[in-house]
Amino acid sequence: MNTEKNSYIFIYSTIMVLVIAAALTVVALQLKPAQENNIRIEKMQNILQSVKIPSTPKDAETIYKEKITETFVINTQGNIVEGKNAFDINLADELKKENDAERLFPVFVCSPNKNDTVKYFIVQLRGKGLWGPIWGYMSFNADLNTVYGCMFDHKGETPGLGAEINTAVFQSQFVGKKIFDENNKFVSIATVKGGTKDDDPHGVDAISGGTITSKGLEAMIYDCLKAYELYLTNNKK
Amino acid sequence: MAQVKNSKLLANPLNLQNPVTVQVLGICSALAVTVQMKPAFVMGLSVTIVTAFSSLIISALRNTIPNRIRIIVQLVVVAALVIIVDQLLKAFLYDVSKQLSVFVGLIITNCILMGRLEAFAMGNKPFPSFIDGIGNGLGYSIILLSIAFVRELLGSGSIWGFKIIPPVFYQLGYENNGLMILPPMAVILIGIIIWIQRSWKKELIEK
Amino acid sequence: MKFLRNTLDKIKPHVQKGGKFQKFRSTFDAFETFLYVPDHVTKSGSHIRDGIDLKRAMSVVVIALMPALLFGMWNVGYQHFLAIGQTAGFCELFWYGFLQVLPIIIVSYVVGLGVEFIFAQIRGHEVNEGFLVSGMLIPMIMPVDTPLWMVAVATIFAVIIGKEVFGGTGMNIFNPALLARAFIFFAYPSKISGDFVWVSGLSDSTTKVVDGFSGATPMGLAGQGQFDKIPDFWTMFIGNIPGSIGETSKIAILIGAAILIISGIGSFRIMLSTILGGSAMIYIFNLFAANPYMEISPLVQLSMGGFLFGAVFMATDPVSASQTSTGKIIYGFLIGMIAMLIRVLNPAYPEGMMLAILMMNMFAPLIDYYVVEANIKRRLKRAKLSSIKS
């Protein structure tokens, strides 16, 4: 058979494209649920990490369902928005909205023990580091002022310097810090170059040599918590 | 082409015909995914599978492929296999696929693949082509794993994700080498591997 | 002296080809030529050669480095005692700094020469004396608190990857000393950036530091936006500021520059054009003045960080710099401009001199190529014109 005829080439390529397109469609459809599940589980693990509950990809979903008892969505006026699922809020998209008032922010409530009423409130953060996006979750005690725990991660900060933000050593500094001062004014938590004074409730040590990432982290915490500010002031005890 | 023994097809790419250190193909992914051993292993495995099966398919079809569009046909087959591998990784090895990010997709542009398809699979029977694909994939994997071994050991102090440098070292002032995590060090390491290989196999030295 | 000569002559037959210890020929050679003028003569044709050989040239550079090194030692002590809030006499300050700096110098020389000797033995060529200068430069561009093992690793890296793979002294593309610094800069960033590494003893948490003392270098302060805290020009010119060991005193560096220029070993073209290039870039920044960093005046900007040290001792390295006169001017000018560009515009790298020089090292042969090509073209044109006239 002459394989160089135009008609042959035409038919050959048509069949090839059809067969491969069909095969890929089947594969993609079959695997889609598993892939989406992976992304969900990673998010659940991150949220759990901010309230210091360890989890593995296998048990994350069960733990999450057990510990995260309540979720809701708020707007920048501090009101709860009905009909939205907090877990499905994509913070990156929300922050891109031009009008502040339209932005929505998720809140997750964690009750670690069934028996008592201890509750932690988890908020989501997202901002810019030196080389790319940084993000994280921060959890507060029921007073909505004292930090209970946090997790940060980054896409590609400088190894050994900015990249230190995702280490436990750095994150543990935030525990016990307060975001409101004595007069109930919102002050956020700053990263302090050269180390903080021991009793400073609003500052943590910046990463030496990772100035830009530290500043980016500080801005991220300030900007995102600012959006939560009204909600936090209205509901704090 | 003269008949070459199947065992030779498998063994040659590991050393004397190594796709990375001798033919200097597939360098870009060797730089990008060798920070740790696990992603490097998965990458090597993916490339081996894609090379082997695309060689098999192309070799089986070689008499029906119109010469004028053969490169396109090869590309489509490779691309389809790469997409399947990528999707599988995302579904079952999510953390590794996150580290590999676009580099699985970029297997399509890996020169080793097109090179083997053009140079071997188009002119040989399916089974030898399959073996040749596996051999070249393994040759690539070996280099990736040796680079990743050094980079992970010195850069992160671990092997396969397990910390193996004892904490005492760090207390004494030892620090992980940050340069190992950056891509330039991978180029230097490939260079050193080529250097070692050529001082060992003198016949590889170009005149 | 006679005794030395006699001993060497006695050993010589054993290490020459066919002798018992011919393996050590290169080692012997290195010592002999270091001590005495070599007896080699040119074998083919006649050449006009200078009486100065590589070793003598290197020795002059090392002498030129001395003022900066001695000042650096004193400054190490001065900064340390300033930090802990004690006063000490001149000798005590110098002695303290001397004890801090000496180990780094020893490590750099022992390791670097060790690697050179090993390679020379394996390859059977002479030991090259190129490391004499590199070995002195490496300690001078390190923060004083750099751990010694890091200096050793960086030196090994610089000599093997920077020099031996290219074929040894005279063949290297990059300046080996800068390569050693770049290695530490990227491999152990926390030991070469931040506010604690520049003053001896500050990175040790047990040291009690006086309130209000900051170990930040002027570059570090500028990088953090604390422009009001940058020392004034004269302080930085004299050099009692934190910084790498040899880079702080601009006076000492200028004395070194004078020695290099008078002896004809360092190219004044490169030094001058580097400074001009840097100033040109600062003036451009001053014109835009988009942020406080861009508004810093040229004199202050030039006396900050390692710019001057790099311009005088690093950029002029005859091996990695451009060879042609015009090429040298272009090469230096671009180094100056790029260094300022990185310094002011890239927040990730507080000082751009190292990266600028390494980058232009890479382009030096290209610049030379085009300078030579342009020359050939111009002469061809002239030749044609004159032939038409006649």
State pLDDT tens for residues C157-173: 999 988 888 877 778 88
Contact status, residue A86 vs residue A72, Cβ threshold 8 Å:
yes
CA atoms within 13 A on the CB side of C136: 20
Instruction: Please give the pLDDT value at position C205.
Output: 62
Residue type, A171: Q
**Residue closest to A214 by CA, chosen among A237, A198, A200, A195:** A195
**Residue closest to A214 by CA, chosen among A175, A158, A172, A168:** A158
Rounded distance between C-alpha atoms, residue B51 and residue B130, angstroms: 8
Question: Which residues from C are below 8 Å from B180, CB to CB?
Answer: 187
Stretch B136-161: mean pLDDT: 89
What are the helix (H) ranges across chain A?
A: 6-50, 60-67, 91-96, 168-172, 211-235
Instruction: Please give the pLDDT value at position A229.
Output: 86
A28/B66 Cβ within 8 A: no
Collapsed DSSP state (helix, strand, coil) of residue C147 = coil
Residues listed for chain A: 237
C147/B188 Cβ within 8 A: no
Stretch C69-81: mean pLDDT: 90
Q: Which residue of C has its CA nearest to A214?
A: C224
Residue type, A147: V
B182/C165 Cβ within 8 A: no
Rounded distance between C-alpha atoms, residue A103 and residue A77, angstroms: 10
pLDDT in tens, C173-186: 899 999 999 999 88
- Mean pLDDT comparison of A61-65, A232-236, C203-207, C360-364, highest-scoring range: C360-364
Instruction: Say yes or no: B188 contacts chain C, CB-CB below 8 A.
Output: yes
Rounded distance between C-alpha atoms, residue A162 and residue A206, angstroms: 10
The pLDDT-based confidence of C203 (bands split at 50, 70, 90) is low
CA distance A58 to chain B (A): 12
B195/C165 Cβ within 8 A: yes
B66/A4 Cβ within 8 A: yes
C188/B177 Cβ within 8 A: yes
Contact status, residue C240 vs residue C309, Cβ threshold 8 Å:
no
Question: Which residues from A are below 8 Å from B72, CB to CB?
Answer: 13
Rounded distance between C-alpha atoms, residue C112 and residue C292, angstroms: 42
Q: Is the pLDDT of residue C279 over 90?
A: yes
- Which residue in the block uniquely carries the two structure tokens 């990736």? B144
Rounded distance between C-alpha atoms, residue A82 and residue A75, angstroms: 10
Rounded distance between C-alpha atoms, residue A81 and residue A105, angstroms: 9
Q: Subunits touching B (CB < 8 Å, at least 3 pairs)?
A: A, C
Stretch C73-92: mean pLDDT: 86
Which H helix or E strand runs over A151?
Answer: strand A147-154
Return the percentage of chain C with pLDDT > 90, whole number: 34
Rounded distance between C-alpha atoms, residue B133 and residue B60, angstroms: 14
CA distance A7 to chain B (A): 11
Contact status, residue C348 vs residue C290, Cβ threshold 8 Å:
no
Chain B positions with Cβ closer than 8 Å to A: 63-69, 72-73, 76-77, 80, 83-84, 87-88, 90-92, 94-95, 155, 176, 178, 181-182
Q: Is the pLDDT of residue B108 over 60?
A: yes
pLDDT in tens, C229-247: 788 888 888 888 888 888 8
CA distance C220 to chain A (A): 9
Q: Which residues contact A68 (CB under 8 A, 6 or more apart)?
A: A47, A48, A108, A109, A110, A122
pLDDT in tens, B26-62: 887 788 788 888 888 988 999 999 999 999 999 999 8
A160/C196 Cβ within 8 A: no
C-alpha dist (Å) from residue B135 to A147, B9, C246, C349:
55, 6, 54, 44
Instruction: Say yes or no: A158 contacts chain C, CB-CB below 8 A.
Output: yes
Q: Is the pLDDT of residue B159 over 90?
A: no
Q: Is the pLDDT of residue C275 over 70?
A: yes
The pLDDT-based confidence of A22 (bands split at 50, 70, 90) is very high
Neighbours of C382 (CB within 10 A): 10
C214/A208 Cβ within 8 A: no
Sign of the alpha-carbon dihedral angle for C170, C175, C180, C183: negative
Strand-pair partners of A41: none
Instruction: State the ipTM, two decimals.
Output: 0.82
Stretch B12-27: mean pLDDT: 82
Residue type, A158: T
Contact status, residue C133 vs residue C167, Cβ threshold 8 Å:
no
Instruction: Please give the pLDDT value at position B179.
Output: 84
Q: Determine the residue among B170, B174, B177 to mutate to test chain C binding: the one whose Cβ has the most chain C Cβ atoms within 10 Å.
A: B177
Instruction: Please give the pLDDT value at position C33.
Output: 67
Instruction: Please give the pLDDT value at position A103.
Output: 86
Rounded distance between C-alpha atoms, residue A200 and residue A198, angstroms: 6
Instruction: Please give the pLDDT value at position B32.
Output: 78
Question: Which residues from B are below 8 Å from C189, CB to CB?
Answer: 178
Mean pLDDT for chain A overall: 85
Stretch A108-129: mean pLDDT: 86
Q: Which residue of C has its CA nearest to B151?
A: C187
First to last CA, chain B: 26
Question: Which residues from B are below 8 Å from A35, CB to CB?
Answer: 87, 90-91, 94
**Residue closest to B189 by CA, chosen among B145, B125, B159, B131:** B145
A159/B88 Cβ within 8 A: no
Q: Is residue B126 part of a domain?
A: yes
Q: Subunits touching A (CB < 8 Å, at least 3 pairs)?
A: B, C
Instruction: Please give the pLDDT value at position C181.
Output: 92
The string of DSSP letters for A161-211 reads: TGGGGGSHHHHHTTTT-BSB-TTS-B---EEETT---TT-TTEEEPPTT-H
Rounded distance between C-alpha atoms, residue C181 and residue C252, angstroms: 21
- Mean pLDDT comparison of A203-217, C156-170, C298-312, C366-380, highest-scoring range: C366-380
Rounded distance between C-alpha atoms, residue A54 and residue A60, angstroms: 9
Question: Which residues from B are below 8 Å from A160, CB to CB?
Answer: 176, 178
Stretch B74-100: mean pLDDT: 87
CA distance B177 to chain C (A): 5
The pLDDT-based confidence of B81 (bands split at 50, 70, 90) is very high
What are the structure tokens assigned to C20, written together? 């018992």
Q: Subunits touching C (CB < 8 Å, at least 3 pairs)?
A: A, B
Question: Which residues from A are below 8 Å from B87, CB to CB?
Answer: 27-28, 31, 35
Count of domains in chain B? 1
What are the helix (H) ranges across chain C?
A: 2-15, 25-35, 54-84, 90-123, 131-140, 148-162, 176-187, 218-223, 233-238, 250-262, 268-288, 292-295, 298-303, 307-309, 325-345, 353-389
Which of A16, A31, A160 is closest, CB to CB, to B88? Answer: A31
Q: Is the pLDDT of residue A25 over 90?
A: yes
Stretch A229-233: mean pLDDT: 86
Instruction: Say yes or no: C332 contacts chain A, CB-CB below 8 A.
Output: no
Q: Please work out, in degrees rounded to the nearest 5, the angle formed at the alpha carbon of residue C139 by the alpha carbons of C138 and C145.
A: 130
Residue predicted with more confidence, C126 or C63: C63
Rounded distance between C-alpha atoms, residue C327 and residue C368, angstroms: 5
Question: Which residues from A are below 8 Å from B65, CB to CB?
Answer: 3, 12
Instruction: Please give the pLDDT value at position A93.
Output: 85
Q: Is the pLDDT of residue C322 over 60?
A: yes
Q: Which residue of C has its CA nearest to B180?
A: C187
Stretch C273-290: mean pLDDT: 91
Contact status, residue C109 vs residue C38, Cβ threshold 8 Å:
no
B195/C190 Cβ within 8 A: no
Q: Is the pLDDT of residue C302 over 80?
A: yes
Instruction: Please give the pLDDT value at position B1.
Output: 45
Instruction: Please give the pLDDT value at position C11.
Output: 75
Residue type, C231: P
- Which residue in the block uniquely carries the two structure tokens 């991978």? B186
Q: Determine the residue among B170, B171, B175 to mutate to test chain C binding: the one whose Cβ has the most chain C Cβ atoms within 10 Å.
A: B175
C190/A160 Cβ within 8 A: yes
Q: Which structural domain range is residue B180 located in?
A: 16-204
In this structure, what are the phi and psi dihedrals at residue A151, rounded to the nearest 5 degrees?
-140, 140
Contact status, residue B89 vs residue B97, Cβ threshold 8 Å:
yes
Stretch C137-155: mean pLDDT: 91
Rounded distance between C-alpha atoms, residue C377 and residue C206, angstroms: 67
Q: Is the pLDDT of residue A157 over 90?
A: no
Chain C positions with Cβ closer than 8 Å to B: 147, 149-150, 153, 161, 165, 183, 186-191
